[in-house]
């Protein structure tokens, strides 16, 4: 049983199917991640967004398990993408046969490795900014607003999510087709739905740097002094 499963996963179709499954799972994560990120617009001081982030840090077992699963999904997906690309280049005859349908290729389909590489670099920067930074641990909302309101930070974020949107515009359709979700009557609907989801994810994630750049950097937090409460207490004491 395990040997047959291993043989299937080592085959061309097996690798493509596993890449499709991991990709769709990552898209599910993006939808949940985007929904949670919208909480940064809930209030001006970022209390709702920080509370959302703290729920994960207060449950380290869940957080670390989720991170390990995500790392495994990303690593598997990336390795399969490169492995499949190498296999396609080595299969010269198959490659030339596919050339017959080259007229239907698009910018998104022909630049999958490029957009995927950009997304990978963006992911590393994203983790360094918002997961591994000590400032993000103390006040995540303020860290996000400060980073995305800077021209460089906002530009990097916009470039990353643009590459993600272009990547998904082809990847979603291709993944469903690989998994057998295809029918002459349904294909046009699937193409519109997957393109719509890719556009919505791009617009959703792009809204953060756009809004932060428009608002500018967050104001410095007002330091609370201990003198004022002490003076109030003294004034309330009976003489």
DSSP 209-232: HHHHHHH-SPPPPPPPPSHHHHHH
Query: How large a percentage of the chain has pLDDT more than 90?
Result: 56
pLDDT of residue 214: 95
| For residue 215, pLDDT beyond 80 | yes
Section 207-229 average pLDDT: 75
DSSP assignment, residue 185? T
Q: What is the pLDDT of residues 141-193, one digit of tens each?
A: 999 999 999 999 999 999 999 999 999 999 999 999 999 888 888 888 999 99
Question: What pLDDT is stored for residue 237 in this prediction?
Answer: 53
Q: What is the DSSP secondary structure assignment for residue 237, as one 8-state letter? A: S
Is 77 in contact with 23 (CB distance < 8 Å)? yes
**Any idea what DSSP says for residue 150?**
S
Are 193 and 223 in contact, with CB atoms under 8 Å apart? Answer: no
pLDDT of residue 159: 97
Instruction: Indicate whether 15 pLDDT > 80.
Output: yes
pLDDT in tens, 195-208: 999 999 999 999 99
pLDDT grade, residue 30 (50/70/90)?
A: very high
pLDDT for residue 239: 47
210 backbone dihedrals φ, ψ, rounded to 5°? -60, -50
| Separation of CA 173 from chain center | 18
pLDDT of residue 109: 85
| pLDDT of amino acid 101 | 45
Q: Token pair of 212, please?
A: 């932060």
Give the angle subtended at the CA of 92 by the CAs of 87 and 94, to the nearest 5°: 80
Q: Is the pLDDT of residue 225 over 60?
A: no
Q: Which domains does the chain have, with CATH numbers?
A: 14-89+110-219 (1.20.1300.10)
pTM over 0.85: no
Map 21-90 to HEC letters.
HHHHHHHHHHHHHHHHHHHHHCCCCCHHHHHHHHHHHCCHHHHHHHHHHHHHHHHHHHHHHHHHHHHHHH
Query: What is the rounded average pLDDT of the residues 23-31?
Result: 97
Per residue in 48-92, pLDDT (tens digit) is: 999 998 898 889 999 999 999 999 999 999 999 988 888 777 765
Q: Is the pLDDT of residue 105 over 80?
A: no
Mean pLDDT lowest among 36-40, 91-95, 143-147 = 91-95
Compute the distance between CA of residue 52 and CA of residue 151 in angstroms, rounded to an integer. Answer: 26
């Amino acid at each position: 049983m395990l040997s047959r499963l291993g043989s299937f996963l080592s085959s061309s179709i097996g690798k493509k199917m596993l890449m499709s499954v991991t990709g769709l799972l990552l898209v599910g994560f993006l939808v949940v991640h985007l929904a949670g990120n919208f909480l940064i617009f809930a209030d001006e001081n970022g209390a709702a967004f920080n509370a959302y982030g703290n729920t994960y840090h207060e449950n380290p077992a869940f957080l670390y398990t989720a991170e390990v699963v995500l790392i495994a999904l990303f690593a598997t997906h990336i390795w399969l993408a490169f492995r499949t690309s190498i296999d396609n280049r080595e299969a010269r005859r198959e490659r030339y046969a596919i050339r017959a349908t080259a007229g239907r290729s698009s910018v998104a389909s022909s630049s999958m490795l490029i957009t995927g590489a950009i997304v990978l670099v963006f992911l590393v920067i994203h983790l360094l900014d918002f997961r591994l930074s000590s400032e993000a641990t103390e006040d995540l909302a303020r860290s996000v607003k400060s980073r995305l309101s800077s021209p460089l930070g906002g530009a990097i974020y916009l470039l990353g999510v643009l590459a993600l949107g272009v990547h998904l515009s082809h990847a979603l359709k291709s993944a469903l087709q690989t998994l057998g979700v295809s029918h002459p009557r349904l294909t046009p609907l699937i193409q519109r739905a997957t393109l719509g989801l890719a556009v919505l994810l791009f617009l959703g994630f792009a809204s953060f740097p756009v809004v932060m750049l428009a608002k500018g950097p967050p104001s410095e937090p007002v330091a609370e002094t201990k003198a004022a409460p002490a003076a109030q207490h003294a004034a309330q004491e009976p003489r």
